[in-house]
Chain A
Amino acid sequence: MRSLAGTSGLAIVLLTSSAFAEEAKKGMPQLDFHNPLTISQVVWLAIIFCVLYVLLSKWALPQVASVLDARAGAIAADLDAARGAKQGADAAITELTQATQAAQAIARTEIATAIAAAKEASDAQAASLNAKLEAQLAAAETQIAAARAAAVGAVRQVATEATAVVVSRLTGSPADQAAVDAAVGSVLAARAA
């Protein structure tokens, strides 16, 4: 505003200088109220301004207002739609989380049940296998004992016969069967111990 005043001041100084001697005589055309055109401007101003006012207020400005209102409405509707969609998405996410948690719980119990069942089955299998092995072991031990007894019995017979032959050859007479049996029995008993 100060620069405006400066401009006006400079203009006034220039207008009062000698270069504008003719201007000073004639004066400003704006203040020449003898010229009918100066006043007729006011009449035309009133007419043109009123016509412009009527056209703007009845025709042009309502158009702008309607477009602006329509845009504001569209934006509000879009925002509402977006808000609705967000609520839907939130609900879906909550549902998904709950479903996942439920599924995980079910899976966990099923896994536990399956592990327990498998353990039981393997325990039973191991027990039956053990029993079978025990039985086989027992049978094998019985067989070994029988074989051993048989073997020990055979040794006695062979030793008795061999003793009888050796005694008869050395003495020339048949050996006393009872004495041989007793001698062999005592030797075998000493060995077994």
Chain B
Amino acid sequence: MAAGHTIDALGQFELHSVLGPVGASVGFSESSMMMVVSSALTLVLLGVGMSAKAVVPGRLQALAEMLYDFVHKMCIEQIGEEGKKFFPFIFTLFMFILLGNLLGLLPFSFTYTSHIAVTFGLAAMVIVLVTAVALYIHGWHFFSYFFPAGAPIALSPLIVTVEIISYLSRPVSLSIRLFANMVAGHVMFEVFASFIVMMAGAGLVGYLGGAGPLALNVILMGFELLVACLQAYVFAVLTCIYLHDAVHLH
């Protein structure tokens, strides 16, 4: 990736169409490809893992059950008993982001969660769902959410404005958080990897010096694995919190 003395840290995020002319005609890129792969992996994990239906689970079944339990518990704890209705959505969201983040760490793959279009698409889906749920449950009463009870009427223009802005900034913060974390990690990988190659070009001393960025990349990989899981969890848990607000209004 290192050409001369420049580092092409952003080239890894460039989109190209895959699957030949058919893919090109429908705008099917590496990003969409990885979405299909991670969805397929999720389905295979649950399908194969649960095929045994064992009372004492094997490894794959235990993994599938752990993921199910983890997200299920999160839904119930954050949203309440109504959370069961949203569990499939939260589970889909969590697995989609988790596998997107984790598969993106593999060499030669593509991280679709590093694209703001994708993360904003997910966040928009969440905010539309949250608003729709709130309107469905509370009707016009939902708009009282923007004006807390007991606040002085004189301040209402200010409070309502602030509340609406904070409500609308939710999808923005949700999408930028995930996008920025993924981009930052992958840029760091690329930069340190380029350092190794550039050092190696400087002869024996460079070979020894290259060990530094290599060690950093090894540490960074561990860190990025944590970030991958953490960001998927954060996205899912914030969605749960927004859904809690939608169901209970404060």
Instruction: Give A contacts to B, CB under 8 Å.
Output: 3-4, 7-8, 10-11, 14-15, 19-23, 26, 28-31, 35-46, 48-49, 51-53, 55-57, 59-61, 63-68, 70-71, 74
Residues of chain B lying within 8 A (CB to CB) of residue A56:
42-43, 46, 88, 91-92, 95
Give the residue name and chain of the B residue nearest to A37 (CB): B15
Would you call B89 and A53 a contact (CB within 8 A)?
Answer: yes
B89 to chain A, nearest CB (A): 7
Say if the beta carbon of B232 comes within 8 Å of chain A.
Answer: no
Are the CB atoms of B13 and A70 closer together than 8 Å? Answer: no
Closest B residue to A44 using CB positions: B32
Given A19-B6, A45-B122, do A60 and B28 touch, yes or no (CB 8 Å)? no
Q: Is the CB of B7 within 8 A of A19?
A: yes
B188 contacts across to A, CB distance below 8 A: 7, 10-11, 14
Residues on the B chain within 8 Å of A57, using CB? 88-89, 92
Instruction: Please indicate the chain A residues that have their CB under 8 angstroms from the CB of B132 in the complex.
Output: none
Q: Which 8 A-B pairs have the closest CB atoms?
A: A40-B27, A57-B88, A44-B32, A60-B46, A37-B15, A8-B184, A52-B39, A11-B184
B140 CB to nearest A CB, Å:
29
The answer to whether B92 and A68 touch across the interface, beta carbons within 8 angstroms, is: no
Separation in Å of the A95 CB from the closest CB of chain B?
35
Interface SS of B by simple majority:
helix
Binding site for A on B (CB under 8 A): 5-11, 13-17, 26-29, 31-32, 35-36, 39, 42-43, 46-47, 50, 53-55, 57, 61, 64-65, 68-69, 87-89, 91-92, 95-96, 112, 114-118, 121-122, 125, 179-181, 183-185, 187-188, 191, 223, 227
Complex: chain A residue closest to B57, CB-CB: A67
Tell me, in angstroms, the Cα distance from A71 to B61 when the chains sit together: 13
Q: Is the interface of A mostly helix, strand, loop or mixed?
A: helix
Chain B contacts for A42, CB-based, 8 A? 117-118, 121
Cα distance, A166 to B48, chains bound together (Å): 151
What CA separation (Å) do A40 and B68 show in the bound complex?
Answer: 31
**A14 and B187 within 8 A (CB):** yes
Contacts of A35 in B (CB 8 A): 15
